[in-house]
Every structure is written in C-alpha cells, then in structure tokens.
Amino acid sequence: MTFAAPSYSSCRQLLSRCLRTELDSVSIFSEIVPDTVIFDDFEKFPPTAATVSPSLLLGICGLPDTVFRNAVDMALADSGCSALENSEVRFSCFVNKALVNVGCDLAKFVPGRVSTEVDACLAYDTHGIIRKVHELLRLYGEVNVPPEKLLFKIPSTWQGIEASRLLELEGIQTHLTFIYSFAQAAAAAQAGASVIQIFVGRLRDWARNHSGDAEVDAAIKRGKDPGLALVTKAYNYIHKYGLKSKLMAAAVRNKQDLFSLLGVDYIIAPLKVLQSLKESASVPDEKYSFVRRLSPQTASTYEFSKEELLKWDQISLASAMGPASVELLAAGLDGYVNQSKRVEHLFGKIWPPANV
C-alpha cells in the first residue's frame, strides 16, 4: 500500500492549525490590552478596552487625520461651553465634552469598558471627585453611552479610594490607579473598586535608584521584583478574601514580565512586546510552558500578617505607605495635572475650531 505525499499547500494548512502564537497562548490566562495612545494599530492588535484622558486628547490633536479628531472639534463647538464667560470654566467644560465625545466613539469600537480619567486636581477632594464623575456620567448619558460600559479612573489617594467606595455603592464603576503599595491595593479592594491598577515597571525603576522602603526592600531581599511581587500579593489578597475587584498590571516592560503575571485579570502591554509575542509561534502541545502564575487556588494558601488584614482607614494607610508609593503617587499626580493644563492651553489656541 502506498500513500501520496501531501502537497505543499496541505502541509502549510496543517502547520497553521498546529501552531499558535505566543500572544494566543498568553491570552488564555489573562486579557491582554494594548498600551497605545491613539490606537494606530487597530488591525494588528484590536483593543478590548480603552482609556480616555487628557494625554489621549493631546495625541488626537497632534494627529489631525485620526478618526477621533472630529469628536474633539465637536466638543470645542459646543454652544453651552462657549457661552460660559469665565475662560477657566469654559475650557474645563470643553475638556469634559471632549473626553466624553472621544469616550463615546471608543465605546462603539471596543467590546470592553471605557475608562475616563477624572481630573487629578481633585485627587484630595472626595466630594469633588464624586461631583466630577456625576457630571461626566450625565454627559455620557446625553450621548447614550450606558453606565455599565464605563469606568472612572481615580488616583489612589485616601480621598480617591473613599470616593471610589461611595461611587461603587451607587453602582458606578471605578478604576483606581497609581497604586504602589500593598496598603493602597488592600484599601482599594476593601472599597470595592471595580478595577485596581498597579504599575509594575515604575516600582522597579524606583527600586533601582532608591532604598529605604520596607515593602520594596523586603521583596528584593526575597529575590523578587517589587512590582511583580506587589501584583502577586494584591491578587492573592483579592482572591483569598473573595473581593470583587479586578486587577490590572500596567508598565509591563518585556515578555518575561508578562509571563510572570499570567492569570492576573488584565495586562497592559506595550506594542513592541505584543509584536514580539505575535511573531513567536508556540505549538499547542507546549502551551503548558506558559504557566498560570496567579490563580485562586494558589491565593487560598497565601499567608498574610495580622497587620495586613486590618480594616484600612486614612491614618493606617498614611502610616503604611512607604517612600516609594508616596513619591510615585505624587509624580503620577503631577504628570496628570500637567497633561490637563496642556490640553486646556492647546484648546485655547485652537478654539473655535474651523469648519464645524
């Protein structure tokens, strides 16, 4: 009995069925979100979720041909904002409208949620944050974006965490960011924040140039990367105690970072890492080499100290935050405030928009 040799095309088809990319394999364990400002790689890496922020608005205004530019121009043409006499209030109104208009466009495009950045100038004002979120939510309602499609991104000061708690009680989904310590992560989870975001690489960068933070130093002494260690500890806390928060790892710098975090809910990965994953093939039989590092099962055996299991409040949070989290939180807030000021200054130059 003889068998005909398979054709070249049939071999290729068989090979394509047997091979998957590393990106396919890691996506089994975590939702991978492209870290990009303008979504200029829609086709290569379709985003599953999105964030709208002053930084995004600056990027849009720097690329006049982007599909989102009209959303900004329409905001600048808003008659209600234009009628405001106080220029500071007027341009704040324009920024809010632009955030919502772009957020509305993104909500039609991504299957997941759109997170809208709340003004960082309000980071230490609980009720100011809540008022701003209510205002943004009202504007989203005017353009028919349902609340369940939205998150509101709030800095993880104590006041921000408390605002998150109160908003979540209303059924409004919040996204707490600038978390650089376990105390912040635990307080955010206790508050019921829908999403908690930890910046892995920023903690690593701080540790390379500083010392004297007990939490960071303890991780290094154990031979652990402080950013990866914080994500692991926060994940284990959330899952061991049945809290609802989803955990997002950001500032992921390379493939090894990503592999070390498999199992976390969301990983924000830069395009260069995604491209490398997409170009690297993995055979399905070898998918178990991509080990799930974080799971509810491993979380159940993690041991926390008595001090880590307290009910966090403003005083205990302040005393537990070391220099790394204090300095990185302050730097993050400064960056957000600077971006907001740049947007308002830019809007002052291009208002009123032409041809609207």
Tokens at 111, concatenated: 């299957």
Helical packing angle, 226-240 and 182-191, nearest 10°? 30
Alpha-carbon torsion angle 259, 41, 202, 318, nearest 10: -100
Provide the β-strand partners of residue 155: 177
- Per-residue burial over 160-180, b if 16 or more Cβ lie within 10 Å, else e, is bbbbbbbbbeeebbbbbbbbb
Calpha distance 226→230 (Å, rounded): 6
Question: Phi then psi for 255, rounded to 5 degrees?
Answer: -65, -35
Residue 154 bridge partners (DSSP): 176
Q: What is the CA radius of gyration of the chain?
A: 22
177 bridge partner residues? 155
Concatenate the DSSP letters of all residues of 208-275 into one string.
Answer: HH----HHHHHHHHTT--HHHHHHHHHHHHHHHTT---EEEEE---SHHHHHHTBTBSEEEEEHHHHH
Catalytic residue ranges: 153
DSSP conformation class of 64:
T
